[in-house]
Amino acid sequence: MTQKLPPVKIFSGTKSHYLAEQICKELGVELGKMNIQRFADGEFECSFEESIRGCEVYLVQSTFPNTDNLMELLLMIDAAKRASAKSIIAVVPYFGWARQDRKDKPRVSIAAKLVADLLSVAGIDRLITMDLHADQIQGFFDVPVDHLYASSCFIPYIQSLHLDELVIATPDVGGAKRANSYAKYLNAPLVLCHKQRAKANVVENMTIIGDVKGKDVVLVDDMVDTAGTITKAANLMMENGAKSVRALASHAIMSDPASQRIEECALSEIMFTDSIPFTKKCSKVTIISIASLFADTIRRVHNNESISSQYLIK
């Protein structure tokens, strides 16, 4: 006798509502009714406006700053647990605080581990996320983690550009593994940038390892915050004879003055996913939807199917 799967219900926090709606459209289901009531002092409470007893509940919420987004997700998880959901899956396209994944100097917190603990204690049974800043963060969880890659969305777009002299580059050595995966799949050379930071968000010096003369360069990164690194790398590529420079990054944090820097730099285009809502004005930005990627993953998880077959590269 085939075991009947529990019904699926999808809910969203405030700032990821746009993405949850697209995911639901891809799946052909209605977005669940949820109420987030805010009090005058900034406190808020989350409540489900429909029964979720015995359901497989998916909570869509990226945990980018400010901390309200993380707190919303934690309260949603707690409310779902207390409402007798059969299982609770956190769908976190952008996992915030991931840059603090180790002690790189004395007396600092490891925020990525703390957030993982908070989600686990709140009551999640599984995490679905995308392009973590550091792969080892998956090990911070004691529940299954489905780590997706935006490459399955970016690569078809890169191929559609028909760049004759394609070169894949990384703006820092730390992203070499990610960039190398793109280079291998696209059968393109790999170029590295070595940077030295004066302090956080400030690049002091950068050098290129490889040849970009007459090439169409695509810089690959996981996120863009103030855009200091990516724009410095783009300008350096053009100074070294590149024909054109584009960039892609999974998460558009885009803290000021990122948009201005991108407008003024040598980049002809920068591609982001919609893991974070992009509300700034920048003529060079192209947004690529990840709704179908997450919808397909939710469908596969619900049906107990493998998700590895949908990865183009890892």
25, 86, 105, 195: the catalytic one is 195
Distance (Å, rounded) from C-alpha 84 to C-alpha 53? 5
Is pLDDT of 95 > 80?
yes
Is pLDDT of 3 > 70?
no
Distance (Å, rounded) from C-alpha 199 to C-alpha 158? 33
Q: Does 314 participate in catalysis according to the annotation?
A: no
Does this model's pTM top 0.95? My answer is: no
What are the DSSP calls for 223-277, one per residue? Answer: EESS-HHHHHHHHHHHHTT-SEEEEEEEEE---TTHHHHHHHSS-SEEEEESSS-
Distance (Å, rounded) from C-alpha 37 to C-alpha 185? 47
Is pLDDT of 4 > 80?
no
What's residue 189's pLDDT?
A: 96
* Confidence at 204, pLDDT banded by 50, 70, 90: low
How confident is the model over 212-232, as a mean pLDDT? 95
How confident is the model over 267-282, as a mean pLDDT? 95
Mind listing the pLDDT tens digit for each residue in 280-298?
889 999 999 999 999 999 9
What's residue 1's pLDDT?
A: 43
Mind listing the pLDDT tens digit for each residue in 22-58?
999 999 999 999 999 999 998 999 999 999 999 999 9
Higher local confidence (pLDDT), 138 or 310: 138
**Both tokens assigned to 72:** 């919303």
* Confidence at 60, pLDDT banded by 50, 70, 90: very high
**Both tokens assigned to 295:** 């919808």
Q: What mean pLDDT is reported for the chain?
A: 93
